[in-house]
């Protein structure tokens, strides 16, 4: 599969509770080539659940939308396909990496790392319905005693996956410790010349991190996850780094204007009260490390007025000019 099929090499990763249409819109404005939805329950989609379907709503004009689904087996995936295809995804990604207990205990997410044969069945079930590219996001293994990412990737590839994204940690690690960069090299060596797109995820917090994965580990692209929260600028910065060897960082005013644009979108899509509440976690990331941010965090922690939040954010900018 050609990288152009999904839009390009720099993608906003799926993040539960974060990658809604507002965040995806901001990321695309700042240069993300594509974005992935929050993980969508195959069972919920099969049952036509309203909350599940809400995760699939696009922002106006959104293209290159990859839908990520999760489920313990091919059965709910097969039952969900008619509803899923009605949303016309650019690609369908299968979550085999979520470490959260409530997902794992059902046999979904990273629990699938213990059952490589099942990922093959899930991919084949999808292929019965569509020629849309199938992607798999997976981990090194269940724990340090069961590293099986190459076996897992091979089963997925044989079943017809066109894209593989490795989060180079085990399920036991969660998001702690460091991603194993050597695992990315092993993956690329094992699938060299296969035509399968290879992406990396984990510890990608700077443009340098992203470019080194592509250049040194020979990957086709990168999924930005935590590194993009409060920092959608990383997409444009990385593209500048790739093209010019350097990049410029947005000033504080640009950062706050983007945060306020993000807030406006949240209010537009979810209403004043919910939009402000859901935006808090993003705002904490936008202002992290800025002088005076501790005061601002406390002030906006309970606000449900977007105008008041904007006023407080602007005090950071005004203080910067003093």
CA 269/CA 262 separation, integer angstroms: 11
98 counts as catalytic: yes
Give the tens place of pLDDT for each residue, 223-252.
Answer: 999 999 999 999 999 999 999 999 999 999
Give the tens place of pLDDT for each residue, 130-188.
Answer: 999 999 999 999 999 999 999 999 999 999 999 999 999 999 999 999 999 999 999 99
The residue from 226, 244, 262 where one domain ends is 244
Confidence check: pLDDT of 218 > 50: yes
| Residues contacting residue 60 through CB under 8 Å, at least 6 positions apart | none
51 and 141 belong to one structural domain: yes
Can you say how many angstroms the Cα of residue 78 is from the centroid of all Cα atoms in its chain?
24
40 and 108 belong to one structural domain: yes
In terms of Cβ atoms closer than 10 Å to its own Cβ (0-12, 13-18, 19+), residue 167 is buried
Sheet strands (E) in 28-168: 34-36, 40-41, 65-70, 91-96, 134-139, 163-167
**Mean pLDDT, residues 197-210 taken together:** 97
**Mean pLDDT, residues 119-130 taken together:** 98
From 98, 217, 246, 276, active-site residue: 98
Residue 85: both structure tokens together: 């295809």
206 and 240 belong to one structural domain: yes
175 and 39 belong to one structural domain: yes
CA 96/CA 139 separation, integer angstroms: 7
The residue from 213, 244, 275 where one domain ends is 244
> What CATH number is given to the structural domain containing 258?
1.10.1200.80
For 307, the domain range is 252-321
Mean pLDDT over the full length of the chain: 96
Confidence check: pLDDT of 320 > 90: no
> What CATH number is given to the structural domain containing 157?
3.20.20.70
Q: What is the per-residue pLDDT for 322?
A: 42
Residue 194: both structure tokens together: 């296969």
212 and 315 belong to one structural domain: no
Structural domain count of the chain: 2
Q: What are phi and psi of 254, to 5 degrees?
A: -65, -40
Residue 319's pLDDT band, with cuts at 50, 70 and 90, is: confident
Return the percentage of the chain with pLDDT > 90, whole number: 97
The predicted model scores a pTM of 0.95
264 and 182 belong to one structural domain: no
CA 270/CA 265 separation, integer angstroms: 8
CA 44/CA 122 separation, integer angstroms: 16
How many CA atoms are closer than 13 Å to the CA of 278, on its beta-carbon side? Answer: 22
Give the tens place of pLDDT for each residue, 39-57.
Answer: 999 999 999 999 999 999 9
235 and 256 belong to one structural domain: no
88 and 210 belong to one structural domain: yes
50 and 177 belong to one structural domain: yes
Tell me if 65 sits within 8 A of 37, measured CB to CB. yes
The residue from 244, 266, 293 where one domain ends is 244
208 and 297 belong to one structural domain: no
Return the percentage of the chain with pLDDT > 70, whole number: 99
CA 306/CA 64 separation, integer angstroms: 30
Q: What is the per-residue pLDDT for 321?
A: 52
198 and 291 belong to one structural domain: no
Give residue for tokens 């790392």.
113
Q: What is the per-residue pLDDT for 1?
A: 85
Residue 81's pLDDT band, with cuts at 50, 70 and 90, is: very high
Give the tens place of pLDDT for each residue, 95-113.
Answer: 999 999 999 999 999 999 9
194 and 259 belong to one structural domain: no
**Mean pLDDT, residues 174-203 taken together:** 96
């Amino acid at each position: 599969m050609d990288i152009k099929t999904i839009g390009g090499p720099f993608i906003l990763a799926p993040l539960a509770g974060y990658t809604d249409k507002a965040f995806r819109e901001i990321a695309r404005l700042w240069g993300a080539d594509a974005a992935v939805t929050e993980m969508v329950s195959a069972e919920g989609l099969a049952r036509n659940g309203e909350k599940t379907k809400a995760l699939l709503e696009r922002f106006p004009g959104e293209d290159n939308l990859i839908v990520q689904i999760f489920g313990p087996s091919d059965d709910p995936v097969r039952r969900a396909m008619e509803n899923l295809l009605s949303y016309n995804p650019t690609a369908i990604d299968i979550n085999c990496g979520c470490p959260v207990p409530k997902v794992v205990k059902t046999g979904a997410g990273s629990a699938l790392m213990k059952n490589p044969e099942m990922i093959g069945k899930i991919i084949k079930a999808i292929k019965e319905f569509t020629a849309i590219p199938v992607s798999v996001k997976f981990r090194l293994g269940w724990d340090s005693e069961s590293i099986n990412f190459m076996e897992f990737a091979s089963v997925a590839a044989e079943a017809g996956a066109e894209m593989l994204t490795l989060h180079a940690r085990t399920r036991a690690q969660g998001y702690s410790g460091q991603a194993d960069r050597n695992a990315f090299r092993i993956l690329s060596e094992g699938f060299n010349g296969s035509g399968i797109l290879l992406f990396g995820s984990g510890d990608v917090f700077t443009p340098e991190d992203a470019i080194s994965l592509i250049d040194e580990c020979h990957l086709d692209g990168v999924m930005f996850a935590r590194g993009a929260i409060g920092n959608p600028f990383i997409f444009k910065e990385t593209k500048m780094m790739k093209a010019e060897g350097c990049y410029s960082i947005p000033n504080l005013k640009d950062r706050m204007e983007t945060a306020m644009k993000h807030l406006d979108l949240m209010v537009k899509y979810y209403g004043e009260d919910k939009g402000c509440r859901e935006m808090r976690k993003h705002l904490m990331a936008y202002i992290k490390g800025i002088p005076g941010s501790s005061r601002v965090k406390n002030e906006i922690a309970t606000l449900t007025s977007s105008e008041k939040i904007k006023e407080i954010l602007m005090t950071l900018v005004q203080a910067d000019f003093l």
